[in-house]
Amino acid sequence: MAAVFPTWILIVALLFEAAVVMGSFPATLKLERKILLASHELELNQLRERDRLRHGRLLQSSSGGVVDFPVMGTYDPFLVGLYYTKVQLGSPPREFYVQIDTGSDVLWIGCNSCNGCPQSSGLQIQLNLYDPGSSSTASLVSCSDQRCSAGLQSSDSGCSGQSNQCSYTFQYGDGSGTSGYYVADLLHFNSVLEGSVITNSTAPIMFGCSVLQTGDLTKSDRAVDGIFGFGQQSLSVISQLSSQGITPKVFSHCLKGSNSGGGILVFGEILEPNMVYTPLVPSQPHYNLDLRSISVGGQVLSINPSVFSTSNNQGTIVDSGTTLAYLADEAYDAFMSAITNAVSQTVRPILSKGNQCYLITSSVNDIFPQISLNFAGGASLILNPQDYLVQQNSIGGSASWCIGFQKIQGQRITILGDLVLKDKIFVYDLVNQRIGWTNYDCSMSVNVSTNINTGRTEFVNAGQMSNDGSSRDQIRGMLALLLPIIMLTAYPVRIPPAAQCAKQWVGYFHGCLFFSFFFFFLLTVYLHHQPCKITGFRGLL
């Protein structure tokens, strides 16, 4: 038995190593999210003011695999009032929480030399400041850099002749805003390409390093580390990654409307059979849509279509960085009158701090009419009562529900914020210059296409994303483990005469071992190539 014992030790050791690998395969990243919400409450007039600040800039500023981001936050203005995600930047990578904003283009983060950056957040997240000096892959962006020149065309960058450093200033309505300079560094992300999960992927990107924040950005109650601009201009991350062939030039989100919040955010196209699309208005700096009419309870409102036409500082914009929704001045009164007339026999209308509200003792879905925003191409955005109403408080046995749509005084601009974007899939197809949507439960799974130029559609599973290596690497590891075991089973073991009685059992064990691992390997390869799905974020963070 002296010659057999070392062989058994080697087999057991290899089996133990295989068990460790197999026990974690397929490795998964649990996409279970829950937001620990602050108890702060905001009045609607405060929300209007906060949204107005960001609208100042809206009025002034004139491929590869699926990249999957976590989503946190909720539309509820009395809890969070924004959706945000987490990005990793630098070497070594550090995590930063940034607001998801389709109304701007640039990703910017508060820097270590920032004046006015909040030090804590009521969202119960750990705020971090980016330090270019502590990242081995960081570099400053000069005025002569091609990317800086591209940003000059869209007013997203500026240049100082003295420092030759590419900079930016984003100013909001009352003077609040941010300014800083651009840096280039590595973005770390989870990417899925052709069915394989690839972790620890990186790509060089250019983003803003904020050294000054003023006004609303300095407040701590809902503070994050920065803003993630998802616009279509050249400095947006989606444009940068697609130009490198890393991702398709399309992204999608599904923002969960319940109090637990969260949702799905991917660089890729969510595929749903009930999607409707409308073309983007060309040559616009934002995601402008051609709104043609509004229907309340199936009746088209008598509003001059010119109110919705797109021109300078006029039109309809999709903006995830806005909490509520806003109607052009000349459309607002007709909209409010139609709703009030539809419910006047059932509920009691009241004014609460300048907002039109209603005291309700039953479900709003049984009382309030359905609203339809009708766009070019025959696409309609259907809004159920909870897509345009906000519950403010309770009075006795009644609940006070207020109209979430607000008026932008003296402006012909309509902004679709989180209130109407929630509980729907939205696809921003920049290649075909269109936006699509459909009502959806954002806690459910979705199919996502990774097609860039291959002519194929892949389906991926974000629930199998891992920080330990790709599934293809895991298969290679399996082969590496199987090879020596197969060699052991194939190589004749020299057994001394005294142990001939055990020879038959050893051979039997070798055969079973070989076929067991061979079967498991075939099963692994089969599962590796099966279509999967992106999984929503829900549960505990």
pLDDT digits (tens, 9 = 90+) for 220-240: 988 999 999 999 999 999 999
pLDDT value for 272: 93
How many helices (H) and strands (E) would you count in the chain?
8, 31
Reported as a pLDDT band with limits 50, 70 and 90, residue 196 is low
CB 238 within 8 A of CB 287: no
Active site residue 105: no
Is residue 38 scored above 50 in pLDDT? no
Residues in contact with 188: Cβ distance below 8 Å, sequence separation at least 6, in sequence order: 88, 89, 93, 200, 201, 202
How far apart are alpha carbons 77 and 404 in whole angstroms?
A: 10
Residues in contact with 32: Cβ distance below 8 Å, sequence separation at least 6, in sequence order: 537, 538, 539, 540, 541
Identified catalytic residue from 101, 156, 225, 429:
101
pLDDT value for 519: 57
Active site residue 468: no
Q: Are strands 389-395 and 315-318 parallel, antiparallel or unpaired?
A: unpaired
- Over residues 177-186, mean pLDDT: 94
H helix or E strand, kind and range, residue 330: helix 329-343
Name the E strands within 105-258: 107-115, 139-140, 158-160, 165-171, 177-193, 196-214, 226-229, 250-255
Mean model confidence pLDDT for the chain: 77
How far apart are alpha carbons 315 and 376 in whole angstroms?
A: 13
Eight-state DSSP code of residue 273: T
Reported as a pLDDT band with limits 50, 70 and 90, residue 40 is very low
- Over residues 43-66, mean pLDDT: 54
Q: Which two tokens stand for residue 88?
A: 């990793």
Is residue 37 scored above 60 in pLDDT? no
* pLDDT greater at residue 31 or residue 73: 73
How far apart are alpha carbons 218 and 507 in whole angstroms?
A: 73
How far apart are alpha carbons 189 and 201 in whole angstroms?
A: 6
Q: What value does the CA radius of gyration of the chain take, rounded to a whole number of Å?
A: 28
- Over residues 115-123, mean pLDDT: 93
Q: Would you say the C-alpha torsion 104, 108, 114, 120 has a positive or negative sign?
A: positive
- Which residues on adjacent β-strands are paired with residue 408? 328
CB 539 within 8 A of CB 452: no
* pLDDT greater at residue 62 or residue 302: 302
Reported as a pLDDT band with limits 50, 70 and 90, residue 439 is very high
Percentage of the chain modeled with pLDDT above 70: 68
Identified catalytic residue from 51, 68, 145, 319:
319
Is residue 532 scored above 50 in pLDDT? no
pLDDT value for 52: 53
pLDDT value for 475: 38
pTM: 0.75
CB 237 within 8 A of CB 217: no
Is residue 62 scored above 90 in pLDDT? no
- Over residues 332-348, mean pLDDT: 90
